Each structure stands twice: as C-alpha cells, then as structure tokens.
Amino acid sequence: MEKTFAMIKPDGVQRSLVGNIIARYEAKGLRVAGMKIMQVSNEQAAQHYAEHVEKPFYPGLVSYITSGPVVALVLEGKNAVEEVRKINGATNPLNAACGTIRGDFGQEVGRNVVHASDSVESAAREIAIYFNADEVLEYDYLPNKWLFE
Ligand code: DAT
Ligand code: MG
C-alpha cells in the first residue's frame, strides 16, 4: 500500500466542497489515514512549495494557500499517488477533464481547489510538513477485501 498527501485548498473549503471532494477519494477506495482542517503557516507553505520558489507565480501561490483554512489529508491505496493525481485532474482547470475535481470545480490555475503529491518521495516529504507521526493512523480497512483480488 502507498500513502499520498492531498490538500483541499482554501477555495475548496470556502466553497463548501470538502464533503464532495473527500467522497470522491473514498469512493475510489482510498483509505483516509490522516485528516485535519488547519491554517497553513508561511513556513509550511515555503517548505511545501520549495520547488517553485523561483517561479513568477510563487508569491501568489503562498498567499493563496495561506489565505484561509485548508483540509490536509493522508490517503492510502494500492497506487495512491497516481490515483489521487488522476482524481484531481490537470494542474490548470482549463485543461482538466470533466469528472476530475479541477475539471468540475475550477476555472483558473491560481484557484485549482486541490493539491496532491506527485511521487511517493514527495508524499513522504509533504506528509511530514503537515502531520505528526501519531496523526497518521494504521487500521484495518475492510473495503480492501473487495477492491483487490
Ligand atoms: P500540481 O499542483 O498539479 O502538482 P505544480 O506542482 O506544477 O502543479 O504547481 C503547483 C501549483 O502552483 C499549482 O497547483 C498551481 C500553481 N501553478 C502552477 N503553474 C502555474 C502557472 N503557470 N501559473 C500560475 N500558477 C501556477
Ligand atoms: Mg505539484
């Protein structure tokens, strides 16, 4: 099993999309291993988006992600990284397919509703930014019996 990190960004929280978004991850069969509503600090935002620090959109990205509460999630599944990226859709909602979160709910790249890690390594790094070890739970998840042969 693989773990990934996902975030419902401030626009998703303010637009009351939290339940709808989490329902999509759950319906796919991803186990919610960690979840909290929280205010992202400037330090956490800087760590999270360190790879983009030189990009012109970086200041806007940090102010967006810190502009209000977010929901931080640790999701687990057989191919959780790839599955959650697929459910979220393309970075720019303009290019995101209908049926994806960004395709269904977003209109521009600077308000793209959700985040998800792009690799297992990024996931481990990002989970550690937002969660203490004891906030990520291991427990039996009965749907796995019906999800996998
Ligand atoms: P993703 O969130 O799909 O992993 P990314 O890691 O390339 O995309 O970029 C991180 C975030 O930065 C992205 O969710 C939205 C913002 N972003 C990316 N490219 C952008 C651009 N060209 N203009 C404005 N914001 C951008
Ligand atoms: Mg990314």
- Find out if CATH 3.40.50.720 is the number for domain 2-133: no
Nearest to 42 by CA among 25, 59, 18, 29: 59
Q: Which residues surround ligand 2, an ion (CB under 5 A)?
A: 118
- Rounded distance between C-alpha atoms, residue 34 and residue 135, angstroms: 6
Predicted confidence band of residue 130 (pLDDT cuts 50, 70, 90): very high
Average confidence (pLDDT) over 17-43: 98
Specify the length of the chain in residues: 149
pLDDT at 29: 97
Nearest to 73 by CA among 115, 106, 111: 115
Q: Are 40 and 95 in contact (CB under 8 A)?
A: no
Ligand 1 pocket test, pick from 8, 109, 113, 126 with the greatest ligand atom count within 8 Å of Cβ, gives 109
Let me know the angle formed at the C-alpha of 35 by 105 and 147, rounded to the nearest 5 degrees.
80
Q: Are 26 and 142 in contact (CB under 8 A)?
A: no
pLDDT at 16: 98
Predicted confidence band of residue 36 (pLDDT cuts 50, 70, 90): very high
- Rounded distance between C-alpha atoms, residue 43 and residue 45, angstroms: 5
Average confidence (pLDDT) over 35-60: 98
What are the domain boundaries of the chain? 2-133
For ligand 1, atom 13: residue with the closest CA: 91
Average pLDDT over the chain reads: 98
Q: Is 91 in the pocket of ligand 1 (CB under 6 A)?
A: yes
